[in-house]
Structure 1
Amino acid sequence: MGGREGVPWSSKAFGLRLPADLGHTAAALVLVGAAYYLGARLGLGLSLVERNVTPLWPPSGIALAAFLVLGRSMWPAVAVAALAVNLPISAGPVPALFTAVGNTLAPLVAAYVLDRVGFRRQLDRWRDALAIVFLGALGSMTISATIGSIALISSKGTGGLAGAWVVWWTGDAMGVLAVAPFLLCIPLFWELEPWTAVRWLEAAAILVLTSALALWTASTDLALLFLVLPCLGWASWRLQLRGAAPAALIASLIATWSATHELGPYAGESLLEQMLTLQAFNATVALTSFFLAALVTERVGFARALMSAASDLEERVKTRTAQLTATNDRLRREILHRHAAQQQLTLEEARSQREHDIAETLQRSLLPDRLAAIPGVAVAARYLPATADLHVGGDWYDVIQLRGGLIGLVIGDVAGHGLQAAAAMAQLRMAVRAYAVHDPAPVAVMNGLHDLVRELPMAEMVTLLYVLYDPDNGTMRFTNAGHPPALLIDDGDARYLDGGLAPPLGVLTRWDYTEATLHLRPGATLLLYTDGLVEKRTRSIQDGLDRLLAEASAVARSDLEALCDHLLSTLPDLDQVADDIALVALQPLVLAGRPLVLEVPAEARMLFQVRHALRRWLRESGVDAQIAGELEIACGEACSNAVSHAYGTSPGDMQVEARLVDGTVELTVRDHGHWRTPTGHTGGLGLTLIRNLTDSVDVDRTPSGTTIHMRRHLPAEDDQ
């Protein structure tokens, strides 16, 4: 295909595309047209049939060379020149036009076919020599011979189609075989390495000897044309295409001249025999010259490549030898230090293992070993350490019971692993508790942590999600500092909470934290987790979030313990956990329509939780607010007595039950301790208050504990 070094051509088979430099294109078109016209005038001087059928048609070779070098966009110049040549010698404009079409189409098809088979104009491969002989010359030129001879015979009204076709085909093929390679070799004189003076003298001797032998063998009656072939072989062997192409052109021109003058081997033969003999000789000359030149060029290329590879190999061997020598010296030095390095490595391994053990112990000691019972609220948590020995991380969770019955949920992650991450986690966990006790508001806690992280020497990033839940009214306030979003599961529907977002702690110098508010209705589940639950190196984190959402929705109505176990059991590659996993779930219990049963430590801090749970149960059960308040005081007094008198300094539990039976609220407070006898005038005031606030009170004291039964009848709706 054309356009290799010259003017660019269209990607369409026969289209025209003008390049940006129109001046160069115009000059190229004029040059090709002029060369085609002059070559045609030279070829017509050897006409054998009428005035336009010649055994040597140089324009076909000129056109093919132009298409291969300058591009097929040169076809307008060829077409115009062909029409200009054929108009004076044709019977009319129509035959001239048809002949010009054939003269243009044949080299175009030849250029296209040669491009399709990967032809290279340097003719440096044997397949290129075969292609230009059989496809470019003998095959493609049948197009112009067929169109031209038919137009000629039709316009002249004479016979001899076969003879005209043979002469026409011979001339066009001769132009390709002799002229095109010669023109294609001209750029090689400045593209390849220049010849020396000796090589130029050798080339001149070859051309002179070829010319002399060709003239003699073409003029004598003896069949000695084959004597030219050794000269062509010499040219191909020594000079490749730059010597073979001119020698082949000279031999073909002399043979054609001899045929047109019926000299030597062509004397006394018919026109068809002359053309067949001439074409056979020309094809043999071209095939021998170009095929041998291509083989030699390939061999020279292989030899140079082999020499280059050998030189490169030698250089690489030298380099490698030097490298091996240097490596050997380095190995000798390293061997001297190996023993000391091994000892140091042993010490480092022991230190790393000790650091790992300390970090793991620190981390596990700071995580809650069990979650405190919160009346009216179910809480569950899980912690799964990474399976890699040294991957103790900074993941943690916490559930904080605050004043006023509030509950703080925290989950955080200190990026990184090892003792430093575990130590940072310990500091942050204690800080969250301290800030939450001082001011439990999410924004206040996050601002305090932000300032703390900026002051601490932490090289790693910290993400944290803090939730403040009020069991009394179901309000949940939260803020998220770069942590994976919390998951809300409500009535079978699961969704992520994307409010209150902020960057990780300490990343920015200052940040105005905000909080989001949500109502968490009874029965709904809030799930907090670290990124180990949803992130895996080989998968997108979005895939992990989608998987968690689907799995949580599938078991939305399960209790919290079953939910946590299910989420961990469905992890891919559970036996190869690359990062720690922490999760904590909270669910306000549905209290209405069922008895309230609480079992909590008999400690003063639990009185708030019991009162809030009882208040929720009474409210959701439809008890009047005033009666509910009086029952709260009565139950709280009974619980206070259990805390104060049942166990003394020993730990113990108490059970609180509330039932609604036939319009009567029944409250039961039970302990398993031994009451101390009241002293002073204040003894027994609690029971008096309880009796004043309820309709009936029964106190049952046994060696196994004390039970207080309280009843309060609810007025009918008509009585209110």
Structure 2
Amino acid sequence: MLDIASVVRVHVDALIVAMNHLVVRDAIARNAPVRKPVAMSAPHMPKVAGIDSAVPAPAHTVQPLDASPGAPVVMLQDRLAGWVSDLTTLHELTERLVRTDSVDTALNEVVRAGAALVGSSRGLVVLEPAHRTEENARGATAALGLSHAELGQLETVPRDASSYGRLLDDGAEPATAAESVRDVLGDPGLDPLHRDVAVRLGYRATYAVSLAAGTSGRIGVAVWLYDEPAEPVERQRHLVGLYSRYAAEHLARLRELEAARAREASIAGELLPSRLPRVPGVRLAVRHRASGHGGGGWYDALPLPEGALGLAVGSVSGSGPSAVAAMGRLRASLRAYAVMEGEDPVAVLSDLELLLRLTEPARTATALFGFAEPALGRIVFAGAGHAPPLIVGERRTEYVETTLSAPLGMLTCWEAPSVELSPAPGETVLLYTDGLLRRTGEPMDRAFARLHAAAASVPGSLRDDPGAIADHVLRLMGASEDSGRGEGADAGSATDTEDVVILAVRFE
């Protein structure tokens, strides 16, 4: 994992050989007979052409037996122990870095680890956009010991006037891996704006390291600030150089992974409804929290003849592009079956079961389909291995007892009785995916109890707005995000492993 230079390895091996030689020689000296002549204890050299082995070695090359080699051994042991300690520290820091799973957390780890290696208490890491030509391309920044206002002041310094800015310039040579400024204010050619910022922030020295990956080239730079004129010693520069090379590769991989997840989330969002229909007698709202791993959670609201409305939520097993594609096919098929026989939710799910078993026998899915007639205040539900709906009102908050059944794709022939529900005016029915329960990290019985408590605690001032009810439940269930507060789906890039869907239906 660690990129240790070959020179370091050769020196360590040489030290070990030297130590062994000195220790063995010391042991021979300690165990030698008392008052034994040196000439008698010296080994007989073999006869070699041109060399007379009987001639004794020069006197100045023979070390007295009572000379102690302890001091060189201790020195070598101390140096070797120092190298082992440095490499152990480097290994621990890279292990902590590899456990990060997002660019933001990795940047925070890099700036903290680098500060520990170079002996600084403040610093920042700047990650350049992957594609500068794209519109709205943005990089990322992580800071240590610097507030947002102080970061804003640093951004006012021209790039060519700061050490880390010069490393970020396109014209900088790739070989320029680091730049140290021992005394910022002592530089007579310092940019006046840079001098003012340095005085206001109270730093006197900087040390910047370029972050360059083998496949992506230079992706950013890390810089650490010192309160007094100083610079890292050679050992610190070597360690932070090794760490920065590994950090750059890790950040490049995470950035590519997040870009792929964003593309998958965008595709999944395109496969879901862009807007909810407007049907007299009901108000609809949806909240979709994408997992960022290409989950198969989905929802649908389909206007049907005679003012009816088809409501559906479900999830497909697996993750990644294949799960997203399967989700799109399943949702499109359910819409077709709902148009043909939506008044019978059991028949809709039975047809969906047959299709899934014939076309994708290795995949399972859960689904909940409801045929709503707002004019009559009635919904007929059928579920296949899905969590039951939750009805929220002023006088009651309770689960709708749907019939227990296996998920789609697990039985030779699926069929389960439907359940009819008659919500009162002002009540809201919540349809949700299992991801809402699993994101809590609790056992399912406790997750259901937590969801019930969250729905029951909706303030009276929010009960008229189905979107506000969904937001309140998401926040208390730990799946809330700042984005996605519109009527349509939110294809945000969450780092959680479960898709979350809440479809709120309020009866007027």
Task: Give the TM-score normalised by the residue count of structure 2.
Answer: 0.45
Specify the structure having the higher radius of gyration (Cα). 1
Structure 1 or 2: larger helix share? 1
Which of 1 and 2 has higher RCO (CA within 8 Å, sep 6+)? Answer: 2
Structure 1 or 2: larger strand share? 2
